[in-house]
Structure 1
Amino acid sequence: MRQNPERRAALLDAAIEVLAREGSRGLTLRAVDKEAGVPTGTASNYFANRAQLLGQILRRTRERLVPDEGVLTGPLDTATLLRDLLARMRRERSVHIAMLELRLEGTRRPELQEELARFQGAELEANVAFHLESGLPGDRTGVVLLYLAMLGLIVDDLTVPELLAPYPVEGLMDAMVERLLPERPEGRPTP
């Protein structure tokens, strides 16, 4: 397998675009080559098979969705973090659509389902730990509920934005934070 990290990243970015546009049935090594504008057979030099490609797409999506360090420094506020998350998802729409395709493909491929569960489980745990260690309001259950609510909002925002058109999305996010992560009356977060 080839080891050129820049070429591998470019092939994975091309794979994300193919997956988002064509779905999992359209994702072939040949389609990745074509999208990346490289000679036929290049992707097969980097990925032994489609299953390996799917696993590496999963990791690449997270590399592309990491928040800017500036967002995570200084005083934190949950609503600001959520606005940044939605902005990143809108900016990297193909990445999130590709993740949805990976989830669907995981329903048909048990090995991918296991990898998704491990990967996303670790990511969720890291997000919960970050939230709680940062002293933001709410408890573990509230943070998980907020994750689930935001996942639904993001899916609708990216796939059927007309559904949310009558509702100001920022207002919905503010209401989620207020209702799911309430502060104690004295201003201290709930345990």
Structure 2
Amino acid sequence: MAQNPTRRAALTDAAIDVLAREGARGLTFRAVDVQAGVPAGTASNYFANRDDLLHQTARHIHHRLTPDPTVLTELLRAPRDRALVTALMHDLMRRIADDRAGYLAMLELRLEATRRPELRAELTGTIRDELEANIAYHLGEGFPGDRRTVVLLYLAMTGLIVEHLTLPEVLGSDGPAALIDSLVERLLPDPAV
């Protein structure tokens, strides 16, 4: 297999775009080649088979959705309170909205994982590890709330993101910003009260 990391990243970015637009059934080597604007057969030189393409694409999506260290550093200058948690949830929604294709591709991979046990095992491990890392980070940084709070934030934000990216009209006039404010306020009561 070819080892040009820049080309591999371009191909996995193209695979993400194909997944987001066409779904898992539309993800073929040819579709990736066309999306990436490379000669036919290029993707097959970088990925052993379709499963390898799916697995590497899943890993690349997580890399794309990682917080910007500069933005995170700036946010973390604030006190460890409910306002900071709210700001972090807004940053999460901003990152997801900025990389809509990345998150939609992840949703497609989750659906595909219901039919592919190896992909399910990989995604389960990756997402579980990320959730555990987020819990440890939240607790270690002294943010308000406990382990259950982080899990509830994760579940609430996941649902809000799915609605916002797929069927935003379901939420009516309630935009994600106001809903984020409300859900953090309800999950993290003001300690002064």
Normalised-by-shorter TM-score class: over 0.9
The answer to whether 1:167 aligns with 2:181 is no
Give me the whole-angstrom Cα distance separating, in 1, the residues matched to 2:61 and 2:156: 20
After superposing the two structures, state which structure 1 stretch, 2-11 or 156-165, moved more: 156-165
The alignment yields a C-alpha RMSD, in angstroms, of: 1.3
Aligned residues: 186
**Runs of at least 4 residues of structure 1 off by over 6 A?**
none
Identity %: 60
The Cα shift of 1:152 comes to 0.3
Matched, 1:140 2:150: no
Q: Secondary structure at the match of 1:146?
A: helix
- The answer for unaligned runs of 5 or more in structure 2 is none
Please tell me whether the aligned partners of residues 149 and 176 of structure 1 are also in contact (alpha carbons under 8 angstroms): yes
What is the TM-score with the length of structure 2 in the denominator? 0.92
Show CA shifts across 1:52-81 (max 9, x none): 111111111111111111332222511111
Superposed, 1:68-87 pairs within 5 Å as 68-73=68-73, 74-75=77-78, 77-87=84-94
Q: Secondary structure at the match of 1:96?
A: helix
Q: 1:130 aligns with which of 122, 127, 137?
A: 137
Q: Find the aligned partners of 2:102 and 2:141 in 1 and give their Cα distance.
A: 27
Any residues of structure 2 matched to 1:1-191 within 5 Å, and which? 1-73=1-73, 74-75=77-78, 77-185=84-192
Please identify, of 142-151 and 174-183, the stretch whose mean Cα deviation from structure 2 is larger. 174-183
* Contact 1:106 1:113 (8 Å CA) reproduced: yes
Please identify, of 88-97 and 68-77, the stretch whose mean Cα deviation from structure 2 is larger. 68-77
After superposition, give the CA deviation of every residue in 1:138-187 in whole Å (9 maximum; x if it has no partner). 0000110110000000000001111123213222111211221335348x
Q: Secondary structure at the match of 2:3?
A: coil
Structure 1 residues 7-32: Cα deviation after superposition (integer angstroms, max 9, x where no partner):
00000000000011000000001110
Q: SS in structure 1 opposite 2:189?
A: coil
163-172 or 98-107, which moves further after superposition? Answer: 163-172
One-letter amino acid matched to 2:86: A
AA paired with 1:147? Answer: Y
Deviations 1:67-117 (A, max 9, x none): 111332222511111111101111100000000000000000111110110
Name which of structure 1's ranges 127-136 and 150-159 shifts more when overlaid on structure 2.
127-136
